[in-house]
């Protein structure tokens, strides 16, 4: 009996593995564009004076940058390297927002020289450095302050970013607040437009976003009363979750933005505040489910009455999330996608690390050496977090589009691994 191969965006996964090799990142351009168009239709098209950014740390390649630019969406970058790549891809710099909690002096100068649309300022040292750099170039950098609204986002502590005790953002202690706002309003080289918050990642509830809006609206009212400062722009961050396993499901964009816009509109009306320009910046939500990773099964080790380990030709270097966050994934044997899932196994990576486990105790279609294993929802924070641990070359990436496919990022070679060494 012939078993059906896994099809992804109209492409045969087994055939992709054969043509391009494994491990292989496979990313659907069609699915990315669908999410970007949902941003346009259900946020930008419904609410005036709004803007949307793609948080490119989730997945930043030249092709992805060009796709985002072509759909009219802005870009969130967090390093000089991401900014440089955006420039090389021809991304309009006035649509770029530069984030980060520890920007170097060189990165700050780079942001001013490139003419980015906004710099999201995290600390006083950065503010002072930015003011000097902009003044020296005869420019005025437009800024938002990142604030920590102090809400619990109910996610893994490593991706919870809105708490008061966080490396990100300005805690809303009145003394700290006044030191930042007072300094910015007196500077020649910066123009304070408003505020930004990000409460966490992989959120499947809108509760923490709504709480944060209440906190920041109170801040906006206080600053209007104390300084006469009217907030012109408010960035509500991103963090919208996607489906990784079991009953986790990506929420439609409207689930987050509609209640947030209602909450913000009501709070501004109550406090007699002008409704600011509203910005959102999803990343994982745009690309997470648009990707999968293909591996070749290399070994199968049965420990009677204990566990069966299935070894693959990738692991920790191409997907560190299980080791970092305890992330859980779903998978399928691509050669027999429609076969019964009659064997529970643990999928192990090839690194010399006990923690290099991709998926624990997953029911699969009796995997055997030579099979192609597909791990789903790897579009976000896989390619972008990949490393060369154990001198493993980083995988290639293929872009698909309704049955078409092409190489987007070539596989690294062993020569690449030592190219920088003297």
Distance CA 89, CA 54 (A): 15
- If asked whether residues 109 and 85 sit together in one domain, one would say yes
DSSP conformation letters of 319-363 = --HHHHH-----EEEGGGTTS---EEEEEE-SSS-TT-EEEEEEE
- The answer to whether residue 1 is domain-embedded is no
- The answer to whether residue 80 is domain-embedded is yes
- If asked whether residues 298 and 275 sit together in one domain, one would say no
In sequence order, the 6+-apart residues with CB closer than 8 A to the CB of 150 are 162, 163, 164, 171, 172, 215
- If asked whether residues 199 and 325 sit together in one domain, one would say no
- The answer to whether residue 422 is domain-embedded is no
- If asked whether residues 205 and 264 sit together in one domain, one would say yes
Distance CA 410, CA 422 (A): 24
Question: What is the SS3 assignment for 225?
Answer: helix
| Residue 255: φ, ψ to 5° | -60, -35
Q: Is 175 exposed, middle or buried (0-12, 13-18, 19+ CB in 10 A)?
A: exposed
Structure tokens, 46: 């419904």
Q: How many residues does the chain have?
A: 422
- If asked whether residues 281 and 294 sit together in one domain, one would say no
Given 217, 268, 351, 352, the catalytic residue: 352
- If asked whether residues 363 and 240 sit together in one domain, one would say no
DSSP secondary structure code for residue 203 in this structure: B
Residue 2 pLDDT: 64
- What is the chain's Cα-based Rg? 23
DSSP conformation letters of 179-194 = HHHHHHHT-SSEEEEE
Q: Which is nearest to 287 in space by CA: 55, 9, 40, 79?
A: 55
Give the position of tokens 């070539």.
410
- The answer to whether residue 149 is domain-embedded is yes
- The answer to whether residue 311 is domain-embedded is yes
**Residue 83 belongs to domain with CATH number:** 3.20.20.10
Contact 290, 32 (CB under 8 A): yes
- If asked whether residues 162 and 39 sit together in one domain, one would say yes
Q: Which is nearest to 236 in space by CA: 155, 162, 126, 172?
A: 162
Give the position of tokens 């591996």.
295
Q: Which of 239, 254, 286 is the last residue of a domain?
A: 286
pTM of the model: 0.94
- If asked whether residues 302 and 353 sit together in one domain, one would say yes
- If asked whether residues 140 and 277 sit together in one domain, one would say yes
- If asked whether residues 350 and 248 sit together in one domain, one would say no
- The answer to whether residue 381 is domain-embedded is yes
- The answer to whether residue 234 is domain-embedded is yes
Q: Is 254 exposed, middle or buried (0-12, 13-18, 19+ CB in 10 A)?
A: middle
Query: Could you give the C-alpha distances from 88 to 91, 281, 405, in angstroms and in order?
Result: 8, 22, 23
Distance CA 244, CA 115 (A): 37
Contact 129, 105 (CB under 8 A): yes
Distance of CA 116 to the CA centre of its chain: 20
Question: What is the SS3 assignment for 304?
Answer: coil
Distance CA 37, CA 21 (A): 32
Question: Which residue stretches of 101-241 are H helix?
Answer: 105-114, 124-136, 174-185, 207-227
Number of folded domains in the chain? 2
Distance CA 185, CA 217 (A): 19
Residue 164 pLDDT: 53
Question: What is the SS3 assignment for 53?
Answer: strand
Q: Which of 270, 286, 302 is the last residue of a domain?
A: 286
Residue 151 pLDDT: 73
Q: Which is nearest to 238 in space by CA: 286, 198, 290, 279?
A: 198
Instruction: Please list the ranges in the chain whose pLDDT falls under 50.
Output: 153-163
- If asked whether residues 193 and 87 sit together in one domain, one would say yes
Is 352 a residue of the active site?
yes
Domain of residue 400, residue span:
7-26+289-417
**Residue 390 belongs to domain with CATH number:** 2.40.37.10
Q: Which of 286, 319, 340 is the last residue of a domain?
A: 286
- The answer to whether residue 2 is domain-embedded is no
- If asked whether residues 216 and 256 sit together in one domain, one would say yes
Residue 165 pLDDT: 64
> Residues 411-415: contacts with CB within 8 Å, 24+ apart?
411/20, 411/21, 412/388
């Amino acid at each position: 009996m012939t078993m059906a191969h896994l099809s992804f965006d109209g492409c045969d996964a087994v055939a992709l593995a054969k043509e391009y090799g494994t491990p292989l990142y496979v990313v659907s351009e069609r699915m990315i564009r669908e999410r970007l168009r949902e941003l346009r239709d259900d946020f930008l098209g419904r609410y005036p004076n709004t803007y949307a950014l793609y948080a490119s740390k989730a997945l930043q390649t030249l092709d992805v940058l060009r796709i985002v630019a072509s759909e009219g969406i802005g870009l969130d970058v967090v390093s000089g390297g991401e900014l440089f790549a955006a420039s090389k891809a021809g991304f309009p710099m006035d649509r770029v927002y530069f984030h980060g909690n520890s920007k170097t002096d060189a990165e700050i100068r780079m942001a001013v020289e490139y003419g980015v649309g906004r710099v999201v300022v995290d600390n006083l040292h950065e503010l002072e450095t930015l003011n000097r750099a902009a003044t020296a170039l005869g420019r005025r950098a437009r800024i938002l302050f990142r604030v920590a609204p102090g809400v619990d986002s109910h996610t893994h502590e490593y991706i919870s970013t809105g708490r008061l005790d966080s490396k990100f953002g300005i805690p809303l202690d009145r003394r700290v607040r006044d030191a930042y706002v007072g300094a910015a309003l007196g500077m020649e080289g910066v123009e304070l437009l408003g505020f930004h918050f990000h409460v966490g990642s992989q959120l499947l509830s809108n509760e923490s976003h709504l709480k944060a809006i209440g906190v920041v609206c109170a801040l906006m009212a206080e600053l209007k009363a104390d300084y006469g400062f009217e907030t012109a722009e408010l960035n509500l961050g991103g963090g919208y979750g996607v489906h990784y396993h079991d009953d986790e499901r990506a929420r439609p964009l409207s689930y987050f933005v509609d209640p947030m816009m209602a909450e913000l509109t009501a709070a501004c009306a109550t406090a007699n505040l002008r409704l600011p320009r509203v910005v959102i910046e999803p990343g994982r939500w745009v690309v997470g489910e648009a990707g999968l990773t293909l591996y070749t099964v290399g070994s199968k080790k049965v420990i009677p009455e204990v566990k069966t380990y299935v070894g693959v030709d990738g692991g920790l270097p191409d997907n560190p999330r299980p080791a970092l966050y305890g992330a859980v994934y779903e998978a399928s044997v691509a050669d027999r996608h429609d076969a019964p899932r009659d064997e529970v196994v643990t999928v192990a990576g090839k690194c010399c690390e006990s923690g290099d486990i991709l998926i624990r105790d997953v029911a699969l279609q009796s995997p055997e050496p030579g099979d192609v294993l597909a791990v789903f929802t790897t579009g976000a924070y896989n390619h972008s977090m990949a490393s060369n641990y154990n001198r493993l070359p980083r995988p290639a990436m293929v872009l698909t589009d309704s049955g078409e496919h092409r190489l987007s990022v070539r596989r690294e070679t062993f020569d690449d691994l030592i190219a920088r060494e003297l």
